[in-house]
Amino acid sequence: MKNQYFGDTRDLFKYDLIIHLLKSLEPKMRLTFIPMLTENDHKTHGNIINYKHAKAGHNNKVLARFLQDCVRLKRRNIIELERLFKKIGLLLTICCKDKYFSDMNRESYFRNIKSRSLCDSLIFVDPDNGFEVKHMQKPSKYIFYKETGELFHRMNSGSILMVYQHIPRKNRILYFGYISEKLKNITGAYPLYISDNQIVFFFLYKTKQIGPKLSSALKRYRNEYNTLKYLFYEGGPSW
What string of H, E and C letters represents the secondary structure of the chain? Answer: CCHHHCCCHHHHHHHHHHHHHHHHCCCCCEEEEECCCCCCCCCCCCCCCCHHHCCCCCCCHHHHHHHHHHHHCCCCCCCHHHHHHHHHCCCEEECCCCCCCCCCCHHHHHHCCCHHHHCCEEEEECCCCEECCCCCCCHHHEECHHHHHHHHHHCCCCCEEEEEEECCCCCHHHHHHHHHHHHHHHHCCCCEEEECCCEEEEEEECCCCHHHHHHHHHHHHHHHCCCCCEEECCCCCCC
Please write the tens of the pLDDT for every residue from 1-38: 899 999 999 999 999 999 999 999 999 999 999 999 99
* Mean pLDDT calculated for residue range 137-164: 97
Q: What would the pLDDT profile of 195-218 be if each residue is shown by its tens digit?
A: 999 999 999 999 989 999 999 999
Considering the chain, what percentage of its residues have pLDDT values greater than 70? Answer: 96
Beta bridge partners of 160: 122, 205
Q: What pLDDT band is residue 235 in, cutting at 50, 70 and 90?
A: low
pLDDT value at 237 more than 80: no
pLDDT of 102 > 50? The answer is: yes
pLDDT at 48: 87
Beta bridge partners of 230: 195
Which of 66-80, 132-146, 225-239 has the least mean pLDDT? 225-239
Domains of the chain are: 3-232 (3.40.50)
CA distance 94 to 113: 10
pLDDT above 90 for 46: no
Position 239 pLDDT exceeds 50: no
Say if residue 238's pLDDT is above 50.
no
